[in-house]
Amino acid sequence: MNVLQYIASLQEVLRRLPIQNFLRVEEVLLGAWRYRRTIFIAGNGGSASTASHMANDLNKGAIVPGQPRFRAIALTDNVALITAWGNDTAYDRIFVEQMVNFLRPRDIFVAISGSGNSPNIIAAAQWAREAGAITIGLTGGSGGRLGVLVDHSIVVPADRMEQIEDVHLVLSHALCASLRRKIAGGTRTTAGVRET
């Protein structure tokens, strides 16, 4: 596949995205902002970079002057803690053990896995659900185990990992831009996240 073919194929993947699922995820994140919930984000490899990027976009890119800010934490960013938990317990616990310190019921966990089958992401999503969090999955292909485990999922209709990761980053940027616009317009929501 040459560059032009790759771009054409990526455009087709974007065209086939499940927009209703995207809108539901947007409402959940807007509800998290409204009720001051914390958003935890995790992924491996390229998806770890997307997790960090998404937290950056929510915490800085979605700022609206005079309005509260998002509370987003990328569980991929503390290398010392990740390696400590990986060494002392097991690699599939590296995200779970970080959330144990901070996650509260009705917080949000965003799990990013191109395959939907990463053991540490599955473990974290399962733990987060049991702890009372609302879970969101960004995945691809068939969705893997993650696609059916989480409360809300966006499954990128592609099999190429590069394109799945491309689209996850596009979704992150689209969410940030749309959330910023809605907050600036005074939008309030109770969808997906209720006040307790």
Give me the CATH number covering residue 112. Answer: 3.40.50.10490
Q: Is residue 104 part of a domain?
A: yes
Q: Is residue 192 part of a domain?
A: no
Q: Is residue 169 part of a domain?
A: yes
Domain extent, residue 171, equals 19-184
Q: How many domains does the chain have?
A: 1
User: In tens digits, what is the pLDDT along the chain, a chain of 196 residues?
Assistant: 899 999 999 999 999 999 999 999 999 999 999 999 999 999 999 999 999 999 999 999 999 999 999 999 999 999 999 999 999 999 999 999 999 999 999 999 999 999 999 999 999 999 999 999 999 999 999 999 999 999 999 999 999 999 999 999 999 999 999 999 999 998 554 444 444 3
Q: Is residue 79 part of a domain?
A: yes
Sign of the alpha-carbon dihedral angle for 170, 33, 59, 136: negative
Q: Is residue 191 part of a domain?
A: no
Q: Is residue 65 part of a domain?
A: yes
Q: Is the pTM of the predicted complex or chain greater than 0.85?
A: yes
User: Which neighbouring-strand residues pair with 109?
Assistant: 40, 135
